[in-house]
Amino acid sequence: MRLPIPQPIFGAIPRTSEGSLPTLNCTSFKIGRKHKAHRGQPPQGKNGRIAEKGRNKNRGKVGRHGKMGQDESHMVDENTPPETLKSRTLEAVAEYIKDGRARRIVVMTGAGISTSAGIPDFRSPDTGLYANLARLDLPYAEAVFDIGYFRKNPLPFYTLAQELYPGNYRPTITHSFINLLHQKGLLLKLFTQNIDCLEREASVPGDKIVEAHGSFARQSCIECKTPYPQDLMKKAIAEKTVPTCIQETCDGLVKPEIVFFGEQLPADFFENRSLPSEADLCIVMGTSLSVHPFASLPMMCSQGTPRVLINSEQVGDMGSRADDVLLIQDCDAGVRSLAKACGWLEELEGLWAQTARPGQPEAKKAEEAAKTGDERLQDEIDKLTKEIDKNLQVTDDQHTWLDNHVDTKFARIPDDGLGDGPTAPVHPGREPNPQETRHDTTPDESDPTDDGLRHVFPWLEKKSSL
């Protein structure tokens, strides 16, 4: 799940362990850019300025011709040969991995890898979290993640947290793919924008994860930063109560260490953000790459390092380098394809099967998704049959009684001289048809099925002949 973060001019600055701001040379502190020039940068003029020739005059502007936070990316010419891969294809990436040349893989993920688990993203119309927060009576949707509003009214966040808290959802097969990379000793680091902890649920170790926007994994006091016990937080979220600091001298509010609007990004992000430059392979999945400084991470990869995008659309500068491979498809389908090409598909499916939890809603959804059309149709028929039986409240004994009762009634018809004509029901509000003959209109006060059947046969009169 991707939590949008407001962007300061120079990005968020990490604090030291004592809580103070470190001394920085702001002239060299640039988000999303290496300090020294590298291949692919335009030629430099005097004083380090970009030479006028080939200069992008719209650079840094916001409007029709520029984008805030990143330059416009251009797709690499299809005739440009790759530097590292044999070709810009899935098969070439798989061969690169199987040959042992991708020993350090960096993965970068966003909300798109969790949507198939049933977790909504934030901004999708009608289905996103922000579109479904009206019941919380917020002044504006984003207030639920605003630290200023949280200080005044923390209850809406805890109402929402009950839905998002870890344990309610099953990891997707994409999460299990990341764990598979770890199991094979190939995962250098996972950078995620998600706060849902599904990577941890899929058994990816915490020391392999950089949660750029925080997560539910830890919680602390917003005033003195004292850690808060996990079991007490779980209880508070289940009861929709607001916990306070466990220190007697502090009565500050406690919240999970999710980065709210107005808060600094975790220091862990800045301590590890240079790791992509050490990677042999970069895999980007399920992110729009629109929130900085996270969006700058793929650009930190060295030239010649293959980058793979598994996403529903092309994003960022992915596709602008000679060794970029774009898999424009669903994340789960993409990782299955890559695992199959590597010969890992059976192993991947086995790892994912281990994430199922008895009674977990998402585990049931996964089982449903695996069924064939005929199996789902049969399940619907069985469900409908059970509902009818429940509504009618007809037991086996009642079935037997009803059969005998009907047999007795029809057996009396010839003896009563009522003829052989069929009995036709008369609908309420309809004039009787003289051609239709109704028999045995004497009410049977002992008939217990009258009330139970009227909602099924609404045309029956108050007292039926059966």
Decide if 213 is catalytic. Answer: yes
For the record, the structure tokens of 335 come out as 């990782």
The answer to whether the annotation marks 197 as part of a ligand binding site is: no
d(CA 367, CA 451): 39
The answer to whether the annotation marks 245 as part of a ligand binding site is: yes
d(CA 17, CA 25): 19
Q: Which residues pair with 258 in a beta bridge?
A: 214
The answer to whether the annotation marks 250 as part of a ligand binding site is: yes
Name every residue whose Cβ is closer than 8 Å to that of residue 83 and which is 6 or more positions away in sequence. 303, 304, 322, 323
What stretches of 92-237 adopt beta strand conformation (E)? 105-109, 187-192, 209-211, 214-221
Name every residue whose Cβ is closer than 8 Å to that of residue 244 and which is 6 or more positions away in sequence. 221, 251, 252, 253, 254
Closest C-alpha to 205, from 177, 179, 169: 179
DSSP state of 293: T
For the record, the structure tokens of 260 come out as 């709210």
The answer to whether the annotation marks 26 as part of a ligand binding site is: no
**Encoded amino acid at 41, one letter:** Q
Answer whether 214's CB lies under 8 Å from 266's CB: yes
Closest C-alpha to 219, from 207, 206, 230: 230
SS3 (DSSP) at 322: coil
Task: Label residue 133 left, alpha or beta by phi (over 0 means left) and psi (-120 to 50 means alpha).
Answer: alpha
Q: Which residues pair with 328 in a beta bridge?
A: 311
- If one counts every other C-beta atom within 10 angstroms of the C-beta of residue 213, the result is 25
Active-site residue among 65, 213, 292, 405? 213
Instruction: Tell me the CA distances in angstroms from 332 to 191, 205, 245, 289, 444, one per residue in order.
Output: 18, 21, 40, 19, 63
Exposed e or buried b per residue across 404-425, where buried means at least 16 C-beta atoms within 10 angstroms of its C-beta? ebeeeeeeeeeeeeeeeeeeee
Positions marked catalytic:
213
Residues annotated within a binding site: 221, 224, 245, 250
Residues annotated within a binding site for Zn(2+): 221, 224, 245, 250
